[in-house]
Structures are given as C-alpha cells and as structure tokens.
Structure 1
C-alpha cells in the first residue's frame, strides 16, 4: 500500500539523485554495461573478470527492498555515521499498542544521546552573543536560497538539514562578516552534499550558483575551515532522521492520506530551518512537534498526541507546546517569509500541503496528556 511505503522510498521516487542539467554535464553515460549482460555468480569470477576501475559515470544500484508486512513498520536507513542501520518498530494491527523491539528502542536512545551532545548543537543565542554583523533575517534569506539550490540540484533532504546544522554550529563560535555569509552557506552545502549525495556537484558549480561572487580557492578555504571546526565529524542526527522513525508510529486508521501527512510533516520541518529561534530545540523535539501539528491540521477532532507517541518519544504534550506553537506561527506566515519552501510544497508531487490552511489556534486542551 502507498501509505505503508517508507518515507525514504518516496523521497527517492520524487528526487533523482543524479540530476540531468548543464551543471551536471560531467556525468558521462559511457561505460555502462548493456542491459542484456548477465552478472556472473561468485564462483564464475576470475581475476581477469574483475574490473577494479569502474567506468566513468557508473554508480551503485540499490537492491529493491521487500514490501513491509501488514502491521509492521519496515526497517529504515539512518545516517551511516550514527552507527545504526535500522529503526524498526511494530504496531499491532487494529490497536495503538506499541511493540518496541529491543534494537529499535536502543536506536532511538542512541540517536537522542547524540543529538544532545554539546559539540553537535549550536548555541541557542549565538546571534546575540557571538555575531555582530549578521542578523536573524539574513540567516533566513540565506536558508531560503539554499532550499532553492537544493531543489535545483535535486539533493535529498538530508543534505539540506545537515547544511543548516553546519551553518548554525559554525556561527555559534565564529564572528562572521555579512559578506561572508553566502560563502559559508555554499561551503556547508558542499560538505553536506559530499557526505550525503551519490554524485555531488563540483566546487565550480557552487561558484556558478553564486554568480561567481567567490572563487574556487575562496570556497575551498571556507570548506577547510568548516571541516576543521567540525573535526571532520560530518554525520549528525537531524529532524529528518527522527521524522523517518516517528511518522511510522504516528500513522493510524483515522488518517485519510498517509502520504499527505508525511509531506506536511516535512513541510513544517523545513519551515523550522528558516527560523533562528528554532535552533534552540533539539531535532527530536522539532520532529515530534511537526507530527503533533500535522495530526491536528489533518484530524482536528482527534487528540494529536496519542499514548503510543508519548510512550515512544518520551515527550508529553505540554512539553511540546512551545515548539508546536512556534511551528504553527511559522506556517501562518509562510507565504511572506518562506517563499522557496512554500513554492516547493505547493507542487502536486508534495500533495500541495503548503496550501493547507491551519486553524488559527491550537486548543489548549490538546496539550494535556491523552489518556486514550
């Protein structure tokens, strides 16, 4: 069923990770094996049959994943550097009872232990404490532009989330002049693309998208500075990491469209990237708040936070209140402040979730613990 497909699978269907554009002309199609060629079994391979120098433009192909069984959430792939491979949780068919496999519980605990590490988090007040020339509105303009860049190059969303994480962490400890903000943005996106994408753009491509405002050498220097600051630890749990896990738990029989719910969660999560104040919240809380608000918008007559979600995430409704209201405010003013994000999610491939009109208020009673 469409509703049971994983978010990662849908994302790969929507986004070609090897975009065909004039900026990607360096990807050659020569050297690909013919479709009729049969791959030899291991026993048939000889030293002469091994080709240790892959042809230009050759990329790895993913094996098709088996369809998930009814009532069981499929295993999800998470960030390689996080040190885990799956996030499996089981929900009994026809009930809200959550059956958490021992490894899934450990995965969530591990992700949470990583996201709260000081070295992985930006300062909540770095604009006031560290930056003298950069203002929150400048950061917002930069991130909105980077959303457009990510769409132009058809990056997976993980690249965008990591980019914003690098930017905020770097600005938390380096006073930067405003004329250096854009080069910081493209350098962070270059690093994130090298970490996440199969075929990341070249440095020249990032110079081109800035209208050659910066030279290749300047971008390389900034990239080196950011990598040294990160101590070359580029992996980090992001909002997207937690959304992939939690949206499976959040889907229930009341939902008309699971796909619309998934995209609405992603839309709200990307809106949070633009808001400097949201940097104070850890990714799991932002993901949980996006799920809370999405469920409220799509099912206003049901309590947005179930006992299952509370049990799995560890968050009670009142603990999410401040973050949920912040996302609600961002959604109400998205047409004027987050133009690139709104335009992106107005597309039919994202079910036009940006066009949804949220209620003007979230009832206070929904921030009380749900006893059901």
Structure 2
C-alpha cells in the first residue's frame, strides 16, 4: 500500500521516471542477484493524465543478453532496413505469379481484421474496466516498446501483443496490479508465435524485476490462450503497412529507408493511443502512410488514386485517424519510448522531422 492509501503497481526494468510516481529504489538489491545489479521502476500506474521521461532506457541496465536473431544487425549500424528482404523475396520476377494474388490476399486479410472476435471494443475502458485508465494503458504499451527493443523482437511481436491486450481487456475486468502481468504474458505469447528464438518465461520475469513469479506469468499466459481459443495469429497494422508501403513509394521522394522508418514511427505512436483502438489496423496503416507522405512533401496532396484503389480508403476515411496520430506527434511523442527509439541514428532520426502544425482540410477531399 502506497502513501495516501492508493494501490499502485510499479513496472520494473526501466530507468524512466514518470509523473505517475518518482523513480524508486535506484540501488535496491534483488535477492539472488549480485549487488551490482541496478534496476528501478518504470513508473507507477495511477490516474495521472500526464507523463514525462528522462533520456534513459532499459539498454543501460545490466541483464542477460537475449539470443540474437540471424540476420539482425547490431545497434548503431544505421542501415538496418525495415523488414529487410520482404520486397526482395516477394516481388522478384520469379515470384510474379505470387504477386498476382496480392489483391486476393489483401481482401482476405481485410475480412479477417474486421471479424468481431478479432476486434477489441472501442470503449472497453469505460464499459468493462473500472480500475484502469487510458493513461495506464499508455504506460504499459510504451514500456512494452522498450522491452521489444531490449530483446530485439520483431515489430510483429509488439503489434500482436498489444492486440491481445486490448482484446483481453475488452471482455475481462482486470485489477491495475495485474496489468503489467497481462502485458508480459501477451508479449510471451506473441513472441512464441512470431520469433525464431523467443525469450524465455524467465526473461519476462526478470524484466519485471521479479514483480511476478514464473508461475504467475505461465498462469496468465494460459488464461490469455484460453480466451483467444489458441487462435494467436491476427492481421495487425504492421501487416498492412508492409502491403501498402510499396504502392506508396510511387515517387522518388518516398523510395527511401527514411520514409519506411517514418511510417513505422507513426504506426507505433498509434499503439500508444487508446483512441486508435476503434480503427481497423489497415486504416491505421493507411493513415500512417498518408501522414508520412505529408511530412516529407507538405505542399503536395499526400494521397493518390493508386493508393485509394489499392487500400480501398479515400482521404476522408482516414481523417479521424490521421488527426489522432498527428495530435500524438505533438502531445506524447517526446514523452514516450517510441519517440526516444526513433530519434536514434539507426532509424534515421525520423522522430526529429518536423510535421506541419495543421493539416489543411482540402487534403481530406477526394483525390
């Protein structure tokens, strides 16, 4: 019980201090670990509506190295491509027949993402939860972004984990003390599905600074799998971002690694925003591309006939989502791990690019 009688749960494993609570126990010794180990809380989950960060991260802590995946570059190489090899593999002349099925594949994924069982409730915080707030979700997801970076997980794992979290919370009331437990269990399930060498249960116990036991994580994993009926796969924003990126690069200005990283940055910002839960993943991916093109060429219409035909979305369809992500750029990007992550040279420092302060209304009219 924290001072003031409030029940608060601390997320361990990061040096970020937040407005939810001061950083505590900076030199606290964890039983069973060398005294030189230093871990501090990410921040307490409270009803606060603001958050702040320091320029510190999980990478500064001492912890066991997770297994590196084949083909991944070390941090700092700078030329690490988004999903390197995706287009090389799928769009070569030898695979032209496969690309002919692209419209059917997209139609299938689009129908899957709209299925009720795969969708979270747009208002689950208000309708289902009574001890959680959107800001607590923000803190959890932002911390999971940091965990994914620390363990060098693929982006699909992060997106799938957040999808599982939102769907579970749409039908199960959860105490705030177990929110982080749900987060690491969801990441565990998603990593087993997406990763070649997923982290072990012990790794996720460690990253919470042993706040939860192995047994608790495994039990929550079982509850989540039962809820999902063991149907773990799900189309995510990252799935559609891969599909849309190619037709979005119809101009030499957009055929750069910087553009791909910028799209990924905007899409990850949408993960933090509870408001974006209401949008389909394909719509969020299209909105990220819309906004990325606008940031790079602010004087030109960011949408095109080709993109409209390929995605099935008109500019007006994207308006609410684009404006939501645009607002995140100004309100939460600097106070998040996502912002810190994409300021790195490895990601071409796309988080430092200046978005337009306003988006002209005529950009949302039909092309």
- TM normalised by structure 2 equals 0.75
Is residue 343 of structure 2 the alignment partner of residue 346 of structure 1? yes
Find the counterpart in structure 2 of residue 240 from structure 1.
238
Residues 326-367 of structure 1 deviation map (CA, whole Å, 9 limit, x = unaligned): 111011223443x21011101111110000110101111111
Equivalent position of 1:318 in the other structure = 316
- CA 1:310–1:335: 2 relative to 1, 3 Å: closer
Residue 303 of structure 1: how far off its partner (Å): 1.0
Aligned length: 289
**Structure 2 partner of 1:142:** 140
1:140-179 Cα deviation digits (max 9, x unpaired): 0000001110000000000000000000000000000000
Dislocated runs of 4+, deviation >6 Å: 64-67
Conservation of the 8 A alpha-carbon contact between 1:271 and 1:341:
yes
Conserved 8 A contact 1:73-1:248 = no
1: CA distance between counterparts of 2:119 and 2:328? 22
Identify if the C-alpha distance between structure 1 residues 285 and 67 changes in structure 2 by more than 3 Å, giving closer, same or farther.
closer
Alignment of structure 1 residues 1-372 onto 2, 5 Å: 23-24=64-65, 68=88, 73-74=91-92, 88=99, 101=100, 103-255=101-253, 258-337=256-335, 339-370=336-367
Q: Do the aligned partners of 1:296 and 1:303 also contact (CA within 8 Å) in 2?
A: yes
**Any stretches of 5+ residues in structure 2 without a counterpart?**
1-61, 69-83
Instruction: Give the aligned partner of residue 74 of structure 2.
Output: none
2:247–2:307 Cα contact (<8 Å) kept: yes
Taking the aligned partners of 2:86 and 2:279, their CA distance within structure 1 comes to 35
Structure 1 residues 218-262: Cα deviation after superposition (integer angstroms, max 9, x where no partner): 101000000000000000000000010101000022416521110
Which residue number in structure 2 is paired with residue 39 of structure 1? none
Q: SS of 1:124's equivalent?
A: coil
d(CA) in 1 for partners of 2:236, 2:222? 23
Cα distance in 2 for partners of 1:118, 1:149 equals 29
Q: After superposition, what is the alpha-carbon deviation per residue over 1:40-78, rounded to whole angstroms, capped at 9, x for unaligned?
A: xxxxxxxxxxxxxxxxxxxxxxxx969859xx9459x9x
- Bigger radius of gyration among the two: 1
Q: Using the alignment, how far apart are the partners of 1:149 and 1:66 within structure 2?
A: 24
Report how far residue 185 of structure 1 moved: 0.2
Contact 1:87 1:107 in 2 (8 A): no
Q: Is the contact between residue 87 and residue 245 of structure 1 (CA under 8 Å) also seen in structure 2?
A: no
CA RMSD of aligned residues (A): 2.3
C-alpha distance after superposition, 1:6-43 (max 9, x if no partner):
xxxxxxxxxxxxxxx9534789xxxxxxxxxxxxxxxx
Unaligned runs of 5+ in 1: 1-20, 28-63, 78-85, 89-100
Alpha carbons of structure 1 residues 122 and 74: separation in structure 2 relative to 1, 3 Å:
farther
Secondary structure of the residue that 1:295 maps to in structure 2? helix
